[in-house]
A = this chain, B = another copy of it.
């Protein structure tokens, strides 16, 4: 239990929801496919709900379904929803401001961080949830590399 796997789990969850078109899925059933606890799933669903990607219903016969069609959910939307964090972190302690290099590094690194985040976002914007479901269904996993 180390690195953040929320994006991976979120994509898995959404793929399941896309498959059960229209009907509510229970967190318990989703958890079974993802191989984790139902509460972990509900936590992820909570973030996806706040991002407007899914809609949940409480009570008996409740559950969660997609709030938009799979074609209208880009992977970057999922990425932003669970906000996995940055590719690299800045210094945990600020650099020494008495040093010219230390003084200048932070803003340079911060800008670089933003630029990398943008390129990740652009890559993830190329694919929709529908692309993922198709790859999972057809086992045409190569498409994601082409």
Contacts and interface: CB of A to CB of B under 8 A. Distances in A.
Interface string A91-128: 11111100111101101110110111001101110010
A39 to B, nearest CB: 15
28 contacts: A2-B92, A3-B89, A4-B88, A4-B89, A7-B88, A8-B89, A12-B102, A15-B105, A19-B101, A33-B99, A35-B93, A35-B94, A35-B102, A75-B112, A84-B87, A100-B136, A104-B135, A108-B144, A111-B141, A111-B142, A111-B144, A111-B145, A112-B144, A114-B145, A115-B144, A115-B145, A119-B122, A120-B120
Interface in A1-58: 1-9, 11-12, 15-16, 19, 32-36
A92 B123 contact: no
Given A8-B90, A35-B91, 5 more contacts: A12-B101, A15-B101, A15-B105, A101-B136, A119-B120
How big is the A interface, by class?
Answer: 35 or more
Contacts of A84: 87-88
Given A35-B93, A95-B35, A108-B132, A101 B16 contact: yes
Q: Is the interface of A mostly helix, strand, loop or mixed?
A: helix
A12 B105 contact: yes
